[in-house]
Structure 1
Amino acid sequence: MKFTKMHGTGNDYVYVNLFEETISDISDAAIRVSDRHFGIGSDGLIAIAPSDVADCRMIMYNADGTEGAMCGNGIRCVAKYAYDHDIAKKEHMTIETKSGIKTIDLTVENGKAAYAKVNMGKAILAPKEIPVKAEGDTFISQEIMVADKPYTVTCVSMGNPHCVVFTEGIDTLDLEKLGPEFEHHPLFPDRINTEFVEVI
C-alpha cells in the first residue's frame, strides 16, 4: 500500500489515495499504521476517495480504529494532496466528509499547494447536536466532575465534538490521564476531543 504522511500544525495522519489503492479494512489499517512504535506513527488514517457530490471524499479513521467525522487540519492536507496529485486541480475545491461538504481555498506557489484554508461552517452549540447529554440550548461555562474534580467547560462541534476547558497551571496537568477521563465521560455519547486553554 502506497501512502503519504502529512501534518497540519502537528496533527499528523497517514494518507492513502483510494483513486489508486485499495484497503479492505480501513479501521484495522488505521490501528496498524498509527502505532508510533511498530507502525508509521500518526493520529490516524485518512483515505482520499472519489465522490459523487464533491471533488473528492475524505474518509477519516482515528488511531484506535474508530471513524471520525471531520478534521480541519486533515482536510487541508487532503486538499493539498488532491491538488498536487491532479485529483482536483482547483484553487477552490469541495471535499465530502461525514459531517458534510466542506470548501477549501488553496494558495498555489510554483505549481504546488502551499497553503489551504477550510470553511468549517458555523459552530454547533446545541447539546443534542454536538452531542452532549444535557438539556438546554447550549453547554457553555458548565461545571462537570471529571476524576473527582470540578471543571468548567464549554462544548461545541465543528463537525466533531469538542470540550474546551479554560484553566490555570496548564503545564501541571497530567494530560495522559486526564484526557481519557474527559473523552470517555458519560456526558459525551460519541466521546469528545478536549482542549485545555490557559489565558496568558
Structure 2
Amino acid sequence: MVEFAKMQGCGNDFILMHREDLRWPVSPFAKMVCDRKFGVGADGLLMVAPSQKATVRMVYYNSDGSPASFCGNGIRCFARYVRDQGFADSDQFTIESDAGIHKVRLISGGSVSVEMGKPQFEPAEIPVLLPGKQVLNRDYHNKKISCVKIGVPHTIWFVKDCEEPDLVKEAKLFEHNPDFPDSTNFSAATILAPDALAVRTCERGAGLTLACGSGCCAAVAVGQQMGLLRPQVTVTTEGGRVQVKRDAEGVLWLTGPAQWICRGRLCGELLARMQEKG
C-alpha cells in the first residue's frame, strides 16, 4: 500500500506523497494517479524529497506525466503538508524546487505565503524566441501578449473580460509553438482596479485549471511592469482569491489558501495496473 494525501489551493488540486515510497517511474505513475476517471484525480503530483540546501525538496509532475520545475498553488499545499507531517519544526522554513530556494510562512487559518522570486522578462531566460529585450504588450497572432518567467514560462493576454475567451482553444496556439521552446502557461487577465485583477490560466501539462498561482504572479508582474498595477494586488480566479505582493527588492510573494481534502492509500488494483505498465 502507498499512502497519499490530497490537498487544494483555490481549486488547484494535488496528490502528495513521499518520494521514497514510489517504486515506479514517476511520469507514468503521475499520469495514472492524477487521472480523474481511473485514478485519484488531481492537477498534479507533489513529492517530498530530501534537500541539501533547504528544509525539504519539492518534486512536481503535471497530470499528463510531464515534470515541471515549479507550481505556485502546489508549493503552498506542499508547505502545509510538510509542516503538518513533521518534516519542518516551525511555521517558517525553506523549500527547494527546480526553480530555486523558496521561503515559506504558514499563517493562521490555513493560508501560506511563498517567496516566488523576481520575475524574469529577458526572452532568453523565459525562454521565448521573439526579438527585443522584453516581450511586453507585443502584437502576436492578433493578440497583445507579454511573456515572463515566474519559476516557469508564462504568456499573459490582457482582455476586457477574461471569462469570454475560449482559453483552451487560444492556448493551443502556444502549446507546441517553436517560438516557445519550453511551451508556456497561457493566461487571460483583466484589470479590475489598480490593486485588483482577474485571471484564468491554461497550464501546460494540466490544461485549464481553476487557479494557477504562478500565473497570478505572472499577470501581476506584467501589469506592474507596464505601470498598470500597484505593488500589492488581489487576484481573483475561478477557484478563489490570492494576494500577490512585490517587496522593496522586487521579489514577489504569493499568499493564499492551502487546504486538506483527504488522506488515503492506493489500493492493490491500481498499483497492479501500474506494475503492468512497467
Q: TM-score, normalised by structure 1?
A: 0.89
- Secondary structure (helix, strand or coil) at the match of 1:73 reads helix
Aligned 8 A contact 2:96 2:102 in 1: yes
- How many Å separate the matches in 1 of 2:108 and 2:18? 21
Shift of residue 156, structure 1, vs aligned partner: 0.7
Q: 2:172 aligns with which of 173, 180, 185?
A: 180
> What does 1:40-189 align with in structure 2 at a 5 Å threshold?
40-108=40-108, 114-145=110-141, 150-189=142-181
Deviations 1:134-182 (A, max 9, x none): 232211011111xxxx111011111001100011353332223222322
Aligned 8 A contact 1:82 1:89 in 2: no
Shift of residue 24, structure 1, vs aligned partner: 2.3
Letter in 1 for 2:115: N
- How many Å separate the matches in 2 of 1:136 and 1:125? 10
- Secondary structure (helix, strand or coil) at the match of 1:4 reads strand
- Mark the runs of 5 or more structure 1 residues left unpaired by the alignment: none
Deviates more, 1:175-184 or 1:136-145: 175-184
Shift of residue 108, structure 1, vs aligned partner: 4.5
How many residues in Structure 1 have an aligned counterpart in Structure 2?
191
Specify the alignment match of 1:6 in structure 2.
Answer: 7
- Mark the runs of 5 or more structure 2 residues left unpaired by the alignment: 193-278
1:33 lines up with 2:2 in the alignment: no
- How many Å separate the matches in 2 of 1:42 and 1:88? 25
- Secondary structure (helix, strand or coil) at the match of 2:139 reads strand
Aligned 8 A contact 1:91 1:108 in 2: no
Aligned 8 A contact 1:162 1:192 in 2: yes
- How many Å separate the matches in 1 of 2:168 and 2:13? 18
Letter in 2 for 1:143: D
Letter in 1 for 2:167: L
What percentage of residue pairs aligned between the two structures are identical? 38
> What does 1:12-31 align with in structure 2 at a 5 Å threshold?
12-18=13-19, 21-31=21-31
Aligned 8 A contact 2:83 2:90 in 1: yes
Aligned 8 A contact 1:13 1:44 in 2: yes
Deviations 1:36-74 (A, max 9, x none): 222211111111111111110000111111110111111
Higher RCO (CA < 8 A, seq sep 6+)? 2
- Secondary structure (helix, strand or coil) at the match of 2:163 reads helix
Aligned 8 A contact 1:83 1:89 in 2: yes
RMSD: 1.5
